[in-house]
Structures are given as C-alpha cells and as structure tokens.
Amino acid sequence: MSPLPALAAEMQAAASEIYLLDASTLQVVDANQAARLNLGMDAAALEAVDVYALAPTLDRAALGELLAGLGEEVGAQVSLRTQLRRANGSSYPVRLCFLRIVRDGHALLLAIADDLSLEQAAAQALAQSQARFDAIVRNTPGLVFQFLSYPDGRIDFPWLSEGCSALLGLSVLELQHDATLFEGLILAEDRKGYLESMQASRAAMTGWNWEGRIWIDAWKDVKWINLRATPNLVDGGAVQWDGIMTNISASKQEQQEVMRSRARLAELTDHIEQVKEQERTRIAREIHDDLGGNLTAIKMALAMLSARLPDNQPALLEKANYVDDLVDRTIEAVHRISLDLRPTMLDLGIVAALEWQAREFEKQMGIACIFRCPEKEILLDDDHATALFRIFQEALTNIAKHAGATRVTVTLRPQRAHLTLSISDNGRGIQAADRLKPHSFGLRGMSERAKALGGTLALSAAPGGGTMVTIKTRLASTDTGKNE
C-alpha cells in the first residue's frame, strides 16, 4: 500500500491553515506550519485526530450532509464557520473551506481554515459602537440627521433619527422620499436666512448654525428650532452635513419675555427720570421764586432797618451786618441748589447749557475742559435736552472721580438725522472689568438715558490714551431740517 500523500511545499509555507484530510474518515493526514503553530500541536499529534477533534462544536450530521452535497468531482468545494480548539483548550473562530482532491489514488479533502478572530473582534466593536450610537441618539433631544446637497441643486436626507416625527410632524420615510418638505415647513420670512446660512456653510466649509420658525400644520403650531451641522465633501462634489435639530421654542419664549420685561423696565425707568426731572424743575422754580423772592425782601427790609439804627449802638449794627451776610450766603445757597436741580442755562438751549457746564467743571475741578460745537443753536425738546445734559454731567463726574485726567475735550455735532456728543479725557482709561462692576450705576444710568432717547452710548479708548464716551441720539425731523 502506498504511503499517504503530504501537502505540497507551497501549501506548507502558506499563511492560512491548511489541513489534508482522508475523505472517508476525515482523519488528518497532514497540516502545514501555520496550522501547527495556531493549534500548538506537532505533526504527530495532528495525525492522531480527526476534524471533529479539531472542531468539537461541529455537528456530525450537518457536516456529513454538507460534504454529501459536495459531489465526487475533483475541485468542488463547500465552506462553513466553526471554532477550532487549540492544544491549551482555547478556541478561535475560522471559516473552513473543503475541497475534494485525489492524490496518488487516495480520495482526500483539502480543508483551508481562515482565522476570523480579527473579523469577529471588528464586528463586535462595530456592534458595540452602533449600540452606543443608538443609545446616544435615543437620548438626544431633537432630531439627528444627515443632509446632502448636490451640485445640481438636489437635496436629500440619507439618514434621520426617530425624533423626526416628534419635532417636524413628518415621518422619516416622508422626509427621505421628498427632502424639500422640510424647507416647506419654514416660515416665509425665515426661509431666506435658512438658505443663506446653508450656502455660507457650503462655501466656507464651516459649521452650519441656523435658528428659525417652522409651521407644523398637523398641530397648527409654530416652533422655533435650532439647526447645527458640520459639512463634509463627498463624492461627486456634493456636501453632506451631519447635525442635530432641536426645539428651542421654550427658550425663545423666555428670551422674548426677558426682552419684553427689559423694555417695560426701560420705559418705567425713563418715566421715572422724566417725573424726577419735572419735580426737580418744579422745586427749583419754587425755591427760586418763593425763597429767592422772600430772601430778597428780607435783605431789603434789613437794609432799611440797618439804616435807621442809631450810631451809639454798635452792637446792634454788628448784628445787622451779620444777618445781612447770612442772607447773602443763603441767597447764594438757594441759587446753587436751584442750579443743581435744574440749570437755568437749559432754557437757553443745549449748546449753551453744555458750554456752561464745561466752564463750571473747569472752574471747580481745575481740569482744562475744551468745548466745541459747529452750531450756535441746536433745537431739542426739553426731555431730550435734559437727558443729554444729565449724561454729560455724569460723564464729567466719572472723570473727576476716577480718570486722573488733566484735560477733557467735548464735541457736540449734528449729523443729518443724528446728534453726537463725545467726551474724551487724557486720563488712565477705563478697564473692561470696570464696566462689569455690580455697582457701576453711573455707566448704567448713562446708557439707559441714551437708550431712552433712541440712541446709543459707547465707551472706547481716546486718541493718545484715556477714555472716550460717545453718545449718539436721533434728532427730530423738524430739527434736522433746520440744522441742515
């Protein structure tokens, strides 16, 4: 009897495990080096086992049926997946491919085993990754999506999460069948912004961030949604965005309520300031008219009494002179208090009032104050003029307290429909943190007064150092025409 054949030299050196089996008994006749190394068995040990010992999980009936279907022709092959057991008892997955061959008159099977450990590990990792992704998507509020825009203008939603129906009132199938349905949900006034933000993201390949309103016909409801997505170029010049849409209606409503509340607060503040200024004007007028008149009468009566005092009573004359000086000081105090409450210079116009205040600041603080205005007169209503004057006063107060300046330059100029007042100093400048101090009511008050006038207040660095305060307010149309 001729000896059993062995594997060819090429098969001995192959990377895949190759086994030569007796076709009738499925006994191992020979195995290559890769098989011996993977199993941890030498040639003698392998020749003592059959395929069922190598793969204990194989079902004999199933394998017999599989091999029966192989047929008797040489070269026919079938394959299956199973586990091979190593000499140390561990197992590893393989794909076994059986081929029928004849060598030296012997009917043989060639079994080629491909190790599937890496493939199986990759499949498990992919399954775990998919499970994590599914869990994240399920717990993500809103809609996770992929959106495609083709060069010819076509659009598509290749993938959508199950949050589609809850957010948009459309099923995944509906939106994948016709991607234009989404754009149709967007309110007409917000659609332009949606398209422009998409095109900007596509042109610069930067993040797509858009907020807008959609109309859900099924619920007769308007929703605010936020869309955030990252673009990527794909084959054919198309751009694919991976992103998320969320319902921000609640936060938008809160934001709008905060804005309405701030507007009401600003209106109340403006009203309080107007009432306060009116009360100051009334008190100033009463002090000036009543107290001033009474003090003037007292001074006149005192002068008459002093003139009638006998020369031989110097003590009474000294008392009369003292009272006369006291009346003069009181008149000065009344005048000063009246000016603090409402400067009478405001009656002469905003230009005269600001120029007067600049001179007073220079005189009281010893800081040079230069006032410039190309117009001799700018017509403003009383509230506007008073508010602008108070802003100016507060700015000068801040400079005197904090700036350490030696010079202040003030410019008032009308420009078409606006009036601009700029106040710059050469002091140490204002820091960003100073603007955020919780008790910086001076700056806040100035800003609120400017807003009440329909204008703005801006802080910036002055040329050459220091701080510049710029107040820009609207001029009434009649005043604008006059100034122009």
**pLDDT exceeding 90 applies to what percent of the chain?**
28
More confident residue, 189 or 295: 189
The pLDDT score that the predictor gives to residue 70 is: 80
Radius of gyration of the chain (CA): 47
Given a cut of 80, whether residue 153 has pLDDT beyond it is: yes
pTM of this structure: 0.49
Task: List, for residues 380-400, the tens digit of each pLDDT value.
Answer: 888 888 888 888 888 888 888
Q: How confident is the model at residue 4 (pLDDT cuts 50, 70, 90)?
A: low
Residue type, 17: E
Parse the chain into domains and list their residue ranges: 9-120, 140-247, 256-341, 346-483
The average pLDDT across 113-119 equals: 88
For the ranges 276-280, 307-311, 356-360, 420-424, the lowest mean pLDDT is seen at 276-280
Structure token pair of residue 395: 């700015």
The CATH number of 140-247, from 3.90.1150.10, 1.10.10.10, 2.40.50.140, 3.30.450.20, is 3.30.450.20
The pLDDT score that the predictor gives to residue 484 is: 35
Residue 300 to residues 296, 325, 330, 338: CA-CA distances in angstroms?
Answer: 6, 13, 14, 22
The CATH number of 346-483, from 3.30.565.10, 3.30.70.420, 1.20.1050.10, 3.90.580.10, is 3.30.565.10
Q: What is the mean pLDDT of the chain?
A: 83
More confident residue, 237 or 74: 237
Task: Write the DSSP string, 220-237.
Answer: TEEEEEEEEEEEEE-GGG
Which residue do the tokens 């394959």 mark? 79
The pLDDT score that the predictor gives to residue 288 is: 65
Name the CATH superfamily, with its identifier, for domain 9-120.
PAS domain (3.30.450.20)
Q: How confident is the model at residue 1 (pLDDT cuts 50, 70, 90)?
A: very low
Task: List, for residues 312-342, the tens digit of each pLDDT value.
Answer: 778 887 887 888 888 888 878 877 777 676 6
Q: Which residues pair with 368 in a beta bridge?
A: 407
Given a cut of 90, whether residue 280 has pLDDT beyond it is: no
Given a cut of 60, whether residue 483 has pLDDT beyond it is: no
The pLDDT score that the predictor gives to residue 431 is: 65
Q: How confident is the model at residue 459 (pLDDT cuts 50, 70, 90)?
A: confident
Q: Do domains 9-120 and 346-483 have the same CATH topology?
A: no
The average pLDDT across 169-192 equals: 93
**pLDDT exceeding 70 applies to what percent of the chain?**
90
Q: How confident is the model at residue 134 (pLDDT cuts 50, 70, 90)?
A: confident
The average pLDDT across 223-242 equals: 93
The pLDDT score that the predictor gives to residue 155 is: 94
Element (H, E) at 147: strand 143-149
Given a cut of 50, whether residue 15 has pLDDT beyond it is: yes
The CATH number of 256-341, from 1.10.3470, 1.10.10, 1.10.287, 3.40.50, is 1.10.287
More confident residue, 432 or 216: 216
The pLDDT score that the predictor gives to residue 225 is: 94
Q: Which of 422, 357, 421, 343 is nearest to 393 (CA)?
A: 357
Q: Which residues pair with 124 in a beta bridge?
A: none
Long-range contacts of 221-230 (CB under 8 A, 24+ apart): 222/187, 222/249, 223/167, 223/247, 223/249, 224/248, 224/249, 224/251, 224/252, 225/167, 229/145, 229/147, 229/201
Given a cut of 80, whether residue 250 has pLDDT beyond it is: yes
Structure token pair of residue 298: 């007292």
The pLDDT score that the predictor gives to residue 246 is: 93
The average pLDDT across 27-42 equals: 91
The pLDDT score that the predictor gives to residue 473 is: 86
Structure token pair of residue 254: 């809160």
Given a cut of 90, whether residue 146 has pLDDT beyond it is: yes
